[in-house]
Copies of this chain bind each other. A is one copy, B any other.
Amino acid sequence: MSGSATYADWIAVDWGTTHLRAWAIGADGSIRAEAVSSKGMGALARDGFEPALLDLVEDWLGGGKTPVLACGMVGAKQGWEEAPYVPIPAKPAELVPMRATAPRDPRLSLAIVPGLKQANPPDVMRGEETQIAGFLAREPGFDGILCLPGTHTKWVHLSAGEVVSFQTCMTGEMFDLLARQSVLRHSVAGEALDPETFAGAVSDTLSRPERLAQRLFTIRADATLNGTGATVSRARLSGALIGAELAATRPYWLGQQVVVAGAPALADLYARALATQGASARALDAAPLTLAGLARIRATQKEASLA
C-alpha cells in the first residue's frame, strides 16, 4: 500500500468456497482498490472469517463505520453467519441482504446477500443470485435462459427480472474428479481439446444418453490399445459430460434465448456444445457480474430506505 489512504465508501465482497475477493468502492461508485486471497469458506473456521477479511481490507477503512456487502458461501451454514435461502420466484436485484451480527471490529458493519432455493425439484444457489443481479443490471429486459457454467453449473430461467426456476448440474466437479483422479487421468492430461471430437461426443451423448456409463472407460481402453492422444481423449470426456448435462437440461435451452456467462474458455465450450444441437447461445465473460450484482443490490436497498 502507498502512503495515500484508500478510504472506501463501502466494500464489496465475493466470498466463495475457495476464494475471497474484495473491492473498495468510492462514493462515486468507482473501484478504488481490489484484493484477493485464498481464504475461502472451505479454509476457515467460524472465528477465522473476520480476521481473513481484515487482512484484505484494513487499509481501506476510514475513521467511521464502513459497510461491507458480501455474497457467496460466507452466508452458508458453515460460513461467517447463515443467511437463509429465499424461495423462488424472486428478483435478485431486490434481495434484502441479511444484517449480520456486529463484527468485533467497530469500523465494520456486515450484510450478506441470501442465496435462492427451489422446492421442486429441490435446488439451491449461493453466489449466483448476485451474478444474476449483475447480469440483469446490464440487460434488464432479458427474458430467457442464463447458464452459469462452473464447478456446479446453474441453468436459470429469467423473466421480468425474476428467477422463475433453475437447475444445477455437477458437470465441472465430475470432470475434475474423473480427469485428475480416476483411471482416465492417464489419458486426458493437459488442457487442450480437439474441437471436432468434442462436438461429436456431445452429439453422440445427446442422441444416446443411456450409453454414458459405457463411454467413459472406452476413453481409457482406446488410449491403451490404440495410442489415442490426450487432446482427443479429453475432448471425449468433456463432450460426454457436457452432452449429458445438455440432455438433462433440454427444457432449459430448447427453443430458448440462451446466454452463457462464465470464464471465457468455458463459456465458449458450452456455446459450442449448444451449437451442435442447433441452439445458438451468446457467450459472456462472467468476471464483472458479481461486483455489478453487489452494486445493484446495494443501490436497490438505498433507494428503498429513501422511499
Mark A residues whose CB is within 8 Å of B.
85, 117-119, 121-124, 152, 167-171, 173-174, 177-178, 181-184, 209-218, 221-222, 224-226, 241, 244-245, 247-250
Contact = CB atoms under 8 A, between A and B. Distances in A.
Given A181-B181, A212-B212, A244-B212, A217 B123 contact: yes
Contacts of A182: 170, 173-174, 177
Q: Is the interface of A mostly helix, strand, loop or mixed?
A: helix
Given A174-B182, A177-B177, A212-B244, A218 B152 contact: no
Contacts of A118: 221
B170 A249 contact: no
Contacts of A121: 214, 218, 221
Contacts of A181: 177, 181
A20 B257 CA distance: 57
Contacts of A247: 210-213
29 contacts: A117-B221, A121-B214, A122-B221, A124-B221, A124-B225, A152-B217, A169-B214, A169-B216, A169-B217, A170-B216, A170-B217, A173-B182, A174-B174, A174-B178, A174-B182, A177-B177, A177-B178, A177-B181, A209-B209, A210-B247, A210-B248, A211-B247, A211-B248, A212-B244, A213-B247, A213-B248, A213-B249, A214-B248, A215-B248
